[in-house]
Amino acid sequence: MTRLVRELGRTPVHLGPGGHVEALPAFTGTMDWYAAYARRTQADGPDGRLVALHCLDADWDSWEMHPCGDEVVVCLAGELTLIRESPEGSHVRETLRPGDYVIIPSGVWHTADIARLATALFITTGHGTQHRPRP
C-alpha cells in the first residue's frame, strides 16, 4: 500500500477545481519552483489554490501580489508582521501570533517582517502571482 503521509513544510499541496487535491514536488524555496508550479497548474486558473507551510526566520526580501484571488495567512507559531500596501502607497502593519490569521485581498501588494522564528500556513491562488524587490 502507498504511504499517504507527507510533511506540508516540504511538499505543498494544490487544491484544484472539483475537489481535486495534488501533492506537489518538494519545495525548494526558489522562484523556479513557483514558475514550475504555475506551469503545472495553469489549466486550473484562479480556481486552484496553493497550500503551503513555511518556517520563517528572516524578513521577506520581496513584495508579492495575487491578482486572481485572496490569500489566507495563518500564524501557527512565533510572530510575524504582515505589511500591506495601499493603492496610495502607505503601509498597514498587522502582527500575527499563534492562532491569528489575516485575509489579504486580491490585488494587494504585501510582504512580511519576522520578529522571531515563525511558522505560517498560506492558502492562496497562485495563478498570476507577481513579485517585486523590497528595498
Does residue 1 carry a pLDDT above 80?
A: no
- pTM more than 0.85: yes
pLDDT of residue 32: 92
Please report where in the chains the cell 489579504 appears, as a residue: 104
Q: Mean pLDDT over all residues of the chain?
A: 94
pLDDT for residue 103: 97
Decide: 82 and 96 in contact? Cβ < 8 Å.
yes
**CA distances from residue 15 to 30, 50, 59, 95, 131 in whole angstroms, order as listed:** 21, 6, 28, 27, 22
For residues 78-97, average pLDDT: 96
Q: Output the pLDDT for position 15.
A: 97
Identify the band that residue 114 occupies on the pLDDT scale cut at 50, 70 and 90.
very high
Radius of gyration of the chain (CA): 15
